[in-house]
Amino acid sequence: MLKLISSGRPSATVIVSSMVLLLLVQQSYGAECSGATYNTTAFEKETSQYSPYEKVYLIIECTGITPGEHTMHANWIHKKRGMIRSDKHSFTAQADNNTRGISFWFKLSKKGPMASMFSNQDFHEENFGEWRVETYFNDELVVTKNFT
C-alpha cells in the first residue's frame, strides 16, 4: 500500500517497509552455488555421460551463506519416468560469508546379485536415457545438471 503526502512523495512508513522487504529478499538469495558431476570420487574431470556400472557424484559449492540453519536437497529426475529419488542434507552455518561443499551420489542402475539372478538382467533398463539433477538451497533452485 502506498501512502502519499501532499507533496506527492511516499511517506516514511512506505520507505521503511520497502527497505525491510529488500533486506529479506537479499538474505534469501545471499548464497551463490555452482555444481559439477563426476564418475569417480577423485573428482578430477567433470562428466555428463555414464555407463550403467557407474555412480553419478554431484559436488555443490556454495559461498556467501548466512549464519543459521540451511537445507540442500537434490532431485534426480529421469526424462521419461520423472523424479526417481530425492536426497536432503541439513546443516548449520556458523559465520557470515560461509563457504560449504556438499556432495550427493546416485547409483544409476546396476541390480544386486539376487535381483539379477531372478530377472536375468544386470541393469534396470528403464533407467537408461536422459537425466537431470536439480539442486535446491533452502528450497530455491540453484544448480541444474544434465547427464545421460
The angle formed by the CA atoms of residues 36, 42 and 47, to the nearest 5 degrees, is 35
Report pTM: 0.70
C-alpha 60/C-alpha 141 separation (Å) is 12
Question: Which tens digits make up the pLDDT trace of 42-87?
Answer: 999 999 999 877 899 999 999 999 999 999 999 999 999 899 999 9
| pLDDT at site 127 | 74
In this prediction, residue 113 carries a pLDDT of 64
Closest C-alpha among 81, 41, 88, 74 to residue 144? 74
Q: What is the pLDDT of residue 98?
A: 83
Q: pLDDT tens-digit profile of 6-29?
A: 344 444 433 333 333 333 333 334
Cell numbers representing residue 43 in the block: 573428482
How far is C-alpha 71 from the chain's CA centre? Answer: 10
Q: What is the pLDDT of residue 53?
A: 78
pLDDT in tens, 78-131: 999 899 999 999 999 987 768 889 999 998 765 566 666 666 666 666 778 899
The pLDDT score that the predictor gives to residue 118 is: 66
For the cut 50, the answer to whether the pLDDT of residue 139 exceeds it is yes
